[in-house]
Structure 1
Amino acid sequence: MPRETLHEMLFALLLYLACLLPEVTTDQKIKEVYWHFNTTELLMGTNLNASSVFNVEWRAQLNKGEKVSILTYSPSSNTSYINESYRKRVVFSHMNFSLMIHCVTFSDEGVYTLTIQLLNKQQQIDRSRVTVIIPVSNVRITSDTSAPYQGENITLNCLGTAGNAMSYSWQKCNQPLPIGNRTILSKDNTSLTLINIQQSDIGNYRCVAQNVLSCGHKDFILQLCAETGVSSWRSYGIYGYPGYLGYAIVIFYIFSWVKKTRKSCSKGQSDTIYENTAFEKKQPNSCKRIPPVYVRNVKK
């Protein structure tokens, strides 16, 4: 065979293989897929022509360590085998080889692999890592006090009662919370502590809880106690309102008032007695003395 003819044949073969490459490229990348809990979800297939496919297989390596062959399908014979544990939960498309799974639970998390064997013995592999997510709901904020005094500390705890794989963040007045020396966040951002609260700290604080599928938030309005800037023992006496000191002052004033009242009453009574005594002493001097009458005996 002439050398020129051999070169032409090799060149034609390379062109033919180049045309086939887009169909038989092996994809080793793992796609991240997120499913809603207790819903129906779809694993995408491929756009390959079924006439060039020899065999199709869906299998899973679940997070709990179990390896499962979900189904196999042969386009040439149009027959498929479905694992008994998945038979009532999956729907397989013979057109694009996609797989639909009903009633998704956390036990379905893992890596799903679609392997397509072509007639020319090439393979196309698609992998998807599935994570099951519960949407965020019922976000709550709890605190150790509702209205602290100026200079005190307060801790806000945020929790989403429903949801998983959540991340937390905080805002003040709809702006990202500035982190400073008086602001402390826990490692997972679920707790916010404000130290030495001042007037500038008053406002609306928002906790945002979110995952890849949903988001929720809760607001907390921070207010200071009415006696702003005055410590509690000064405002309310010592050890409670009005405090021992307050009671002592009240009793002292009452005792002083009673003492003064008694003194004034005693003085009034003494003056009255003295006036009566003087009147009794003067009364005899005002009367006229009548000289005695002498009766003589007259002899008849």
Structure 2
Amino acid sequence: MLNRRRLLTATAAAATTALAPRRLWAASTLTLGGTRIDTLSDGSLVLPGDFILGGMPQDEMQAIVAKYGLPTDRLTPPCNVTLLRDGTNTVLFDVGAGPDFQPSAGKLMEAFDAIGLTVEDITHVLFTHAHPDHLWGLLDEFDEPLFPNAEYMIGQAEFDYWTNPDTVASIGEARATFAVGAARRLAAIAETARLLADGEEALPGIISRLTPGHTPGHLAYEIAGTTPVMVMGDCIGNHHVAFERPEWESGSDQDKALAAGTRTALLDRLATEGHAIIGYHLPGGGIGRVERADTGYRFSEDI
């Protein structure tokens, strides 16, 4: 059985005075038997609209985005880090952006403080992919892994791509810093990280699923249960055009055609099989379901 609840938690620093600004964390919680899944806010990104929307049929795209009350010149997607606790393991899926990417992101440690979690509590870190907002929170101020007791896991294909010295020259100028930053951080765990194949069981009841296109070796993670849960990372990157027109190519994807094919097939499967989903950049903490619509699909926050 899958249950959901929502909490709004103010950080202690924000709550010291009634006049202070309050940061509210959308803490969406799922329970699957003895397993609890929370999403923690790492803040949000600030992106030029064409980073995601560029190249799409503009008139139809603008109508879709307007329906969701969003502008098309600038997007500010949330960043939802998934935390799973089963009584034995305390697992993070991705680690957020850390302090070196965008000032609006890198807030995961504030979320930890708000729920009384410490970096020492984390037993495993499972990466979906190595983009900055998912990986760059890996290291502390001494360039050591921030979660000292954790085992780190990432897809074999993803690791190979970002640690290949040729990637920085071939990825394009706009993403060259992504490659440099990923290589530096992955080098810190290279000797100990477990590299996953498609369909491999990362932990009991957690299966890696290759979902390529956004990056070459992007993984989603399927968590077993009466109602399975798919931690999607960025293979479905927003709640508007990605759902309504999954076949459209997006500027945020490295292999645009492959990503569109992955997205289209995955949405069909998720809608058919009734999985719960957790999307890194989806609203309301990112937890919901995929529903079929008149054209394409829609994201529902109802579980």
TM over 0.5: no
Q: TM-score, normalised on structure 2?
A: 0.21
Q: TM-score, normalised on structure 1?
A: 0.21
Q: Which has the higher strand share?
A: 1
Question: Which structure has the larger Rg over C-alpha atoms?
Answer: 1
